[in-house]
Amino acid sequence: ATPTSIMVGTGKGAENGILIKSAESLELAYQIQTIVLDKTGTITQGKPTVTDFITVRGTANQNELNLLRLAGSVERNSEHPLAEAVVQYTQSQQVILTDVRSFEAFAGSGVQGNVLNNLVQIGTQRWFKELGIDTNNLQQDWNRLESLAKTVVGIAVDGQIEGILGIADAVKPSSISAIRNLQRMGLEVVMLTGDNYRTAEAIASLVGIRKIIAEVRPSQKAAQIETIQKEGKIVAMVGDGINDAPALASADVGIAIGTGTDVAIAASDLTLISGDLQSIVTAIQLSRATISNIR
């Protein structure tokens, strides 16, 4: 591409809410065959809210509030968006949080800490299985909430499951039509997420995605992109989180959500300022126009 056509393309991108960092990505975008979308904050709004709180004994309110106090106190030490949702929920219930010792975060699994001499662990079902924590008491509710597209985290105290929190994160209304348009252009659309398979599947069916790669550890997201590239595909990755940065950098075209983290934006070739996935369609059209003007 000539410098002039690239300049024109970059300017048109800016007019359409797309920041184009590398000329190369503008030349490559029309060749994308597979587009991998992060779930949380990319397909969804990334504003998780606690909608359900279910405890094992389901008895006195006092117990439930105490459990919330333990959970909120630990989550206050975490920077994860889910943690923020949990802390907000405890505040809405007028729970007063307390100090935590030995806080630890396990990427892709959950968090733990010592609160009032209790070991409190909050996280995924898979992590609880690894820890040998029996989830049977709440298994039905856990599965039911996940089928409703909610992310569910368990709360264990001293190695016993005590409760679960259902956390909802609505799909961006524009995601549905944008994904359909990308598929109509002949692209294969894939969802990539650290969240559990059942929740991922429920969100995927809302937006018409058929291929899901779920329960992927943050350290493994880039490897998933490389696997698709090894099949001979030109791959774009779209994401917003710190977790997504290595995958964004590995992809042939890395696309960041403008409302996402600075780390994701820095690792990307293109940034969608408003976070609307329809801008990807625009970027591909712009790429095609830029290339055909040159030839």
Minimum CB separation from Mg ion for residue 65, in Å? 31
Which of 5, 25, 44, 124 contacts ligand ADP by CB under 6 A?
A: 124
Alpha-carbon span 41 to 50, nearest angstrom: 16
Binding partner of residue 153 among Mg ion, ligand ADP, none, CB cut-off 5 to 8 Å per kind: ligand ADP
Beta strands in 30-159 (DSSP E): 34-38, 49-55, 101-106, 110-115, 118-123, 151-157
CB 161 within 8 A of CB 122: no
CB burial of 218-233 (b: ≥16 within 10 Å; e: otherwise) equals bebbbebbeebeeeeb
By CB under 6 A, tell whether 112 contacts ligand ADP.
Answer: no
Helix 61-75 / helix 81-92 crossing angle, nearest 10 deg: 140
124 vs 175, which CB is nearer to ligand ADP?
124
Q: Residue 155 — φ and ψ, nearest 5°?
A: -120, 120
* Residue carrying the six token digits 């329809």: 278
Three-class SS of residue 249?
Answer: helix
Which parts of 219-248 interact with Mg ion (CB under 5 A)? 240-241
Query: Residue 78, interface with ligand ADP (CB under 6 A)?
Result: yes
Can you name the residues that pair with 192 across neighbouring β-strands?
38, 213
The DSSP code for 100 is -
One of 41, 108, 194, 254 touching Mg ion (CB under 5 A): 41
Tokens read off for 92: 């809405």
User: Of 195, 252, 269, 276, which lies in the binding site for ligand ADP, with binding defined by CB under 6 A?
Assistant: 195
Quick one: 20 or 277, whose CB is closer to ligand ADP? 277
Q: Which of 40, 73, 250, 271 binds Mg ion (CB under 5 A)?
A: 40
Which of 1, 36, 67, 111 forms a contact with ligand ADP (CB under 6 A)? 111
Sign of the C-alpha dihedral computed for residues 205, 207, 210 and 215 taken in this order: negative
Contacts (CB under 6 A) with ligand ADP, residues 239-268? 241, 243
Contact status: 40 vs ligand ADP (CB under 6 A): yes
In the block, which residue shows the tokens 């490389």?
226
Residue whose pair of structure tokens reads 């069916």 in the numeric block: 205
CB of 93 to Mg ion, least distance (A): 27
Part in contact with ligand ADP (CB under 6 A); list of ranges 116-124, 128-136, 177-185, 267-275: 116-124
38 catalytic, yes or no? yes
Q: Which is nearer to ligand ADP, 34 or 124 (CB)?
A: 124
Nearer to Mg ion, 90 or 124 (CB): 124
> Which of 38, 252, 269, 276 is flagged as catalytic?
38
Per CB under 5 A, does 194 bind Mg ion?
Answer: no
Closest C-alpha among 75, 60, 152, 80 to residue 120: 75
List the beta bridge partners of residue 151.
Answer: 167
Tokens of 78: 């975490």
Q: Please report, as ranges, the residues that interact with Mg ion according to CB under 5 A.
A: 38, 40-41, 240-241
**Active-site residue set:** 38
Q: Please report, as ranges, the residues that interact with ligand ADP according to CB under 6 A.
A: 39-40, 75, 78, 80, 82-83, 108-111, 122-124, 151, 153, 193-195, 218, 241, 243
